Amino acid sequence: MSPHRKITDQGVAGLPIAEGRAELLEEIMTSTSTTQRTSRGLLVPLAAAAAVVAVAGGAWALTTGDDPDIAPRESGFGSDPSAPVASTSEPAGTPTGKGQDTCVVSYAEGATPPATDGPEFKKCETVILEEQQPGDVVEDERYQRPPRPVLITANGWEVDGVYNMDLDWTGPGDAEVHLTWVQTEAEPFAYDRYQRRGERIDILGLVGRLTGFTEQGKDYQVLFTSPVQNGGPGLLLETSSLGPAEFRALVESLQWVSLAEYDAVVRPAVG
């Protein structure tokens, strides 16, 4: 089918895929639910938890809203961007919940659920294991603090949309850039897709790669950096409305800023 001939929902309904459709339904419903209840207490919604223990690749750390422990800028994957990142994160703290009885442990999709029988869980009446999903929204609020506040400082660029810590930026000529954070350790695709090719660029004290791909006839320019924390998220900038030279100039305008400076720019765009 031509890329410009798009099937309708009515067309989908007429496709001879009844068996596959029915089989998928049964496969999904017989798959293991990732929201598992332990033997103690009742399940509560993730949103009810004030603190979430984030687990990535076997290492886990509390995500409580305190200042993240920023690694030195030169850390990260070092001289070989394609090499796996060795996490230096230590198991941190005791999981806490809204009350002292509910602990939510969030772990990366596809990872092995962590053990919950350690001493740090003793005070938890209920322990909920929650596999992260593409549809997850951890905070109800549109705004969420990023791992480290960063802004585009090139002239004419402003934040046009906020989705948690992801930002849509709009610039001169209606150019658009999407800024997001990608969990490097839990998302090995990041290395396959971005880090093994492209031009190396030293930016923000991190190692980045300028690369791109073509998707459905659109040319995307991408910057992906080493993690701002060991084993943590890397910065991803993506655009389909700038050429390589323009995008590079924009990337070079990125600056770390204080949280107050970040809030001053981002908060008004939350809506």
Partner 1 sequence: MGHLDAQDETFRRLYSAHFDAVLGFALRRTDRPEDAADVTADTFLVAWRRLSHVPGGDAARPWLYGVARRTLANHRRGDGRRAALGERLRVQLTRAVADLADEVVHRADVTAAMARLSARDEEILQLHLWEGLEPREISEVLGLPGAVVRPRLSRAKARLRQVLGNDPGPAGHLPSTPLPVSSKEGPA
Tell me which residues touch partner 1 (CB under 8 A): 1-17, 19-21, 23-25, 27-29, 31, 33-35, 45, 109-110, 131, 133-137, 142, 160-164, 168, 174-176, 178, 182, 187, 189-190, 192-193, 215-218, 220, 239-241, 269-271
Calculate the dihedral angle through the C-alpha atoms of 271, 159, 155, 71, rounding to the nearest 10 degrees.
Answer: 130
User: Of 2 and 79, which CB lies nearer to partner 1 in the complex structure?
Assistant: 2
Q: ∠ CA(116), CA(117), CA(118), 5° rounding? A: 100
> Measured from the CB atom, is 75 or 226 closer to partner 1?
226
Q: Which residue lies nearer to partner 1 by CB, 145 or 193?
A: 193
* DSSP-assigned states of every residue in 15-47: SS-HHHHHHHHHHHHHSPPSSEE-SSS----GG
Contact yes or no for 94/120 (Cβ under 8 A): yes
**Closest distance to partner 1 from the beta carbon of 135 (Å):** 4
Pairing of strands 166-171, 102-107: unpaired
Nearer to partner 1, 92 or 269 (CB): 269
Tell me the closest approach of the beta carbon of residue 194 to partner 1, in angstroms: 8
- The owner of tokens 């480290």 is 148
Tally of CA atoms within 13 A in the half-sphere of 152 that contains its CB: 28
Nearest-CA neighbor of 268 among 167, 153, 171?
167
Please identify, using beta-carbon distances, which residue of 123 and 267 lies nearer to partner 1. Answer: 267
Q: Which residues contact 134 (CB under 8 A, 6 or more apart)?
A: 109
Which stretches within 154-210 are classed as H helix? 189-190
Q: How far is the CB of 108 from partner 1 (least distance, A)?
A: 12
Smallest gap, in angstroms, from Cβ of residue 236 to partner 1?
8
Who's near 216: CB < 8 A, 6+ residues apart? 3
Smallest separation, CB 233 to partner 1 (Å):
14
- Nearest approach, Cβ of 175 to partner 1 (angstroms)? 8
d(CA 70, CA 78): 16
Distance in Å, CB of 166 to partner 1, minimum: 9
Pick 118 or 156: Cβ nearer partner 1 = 156
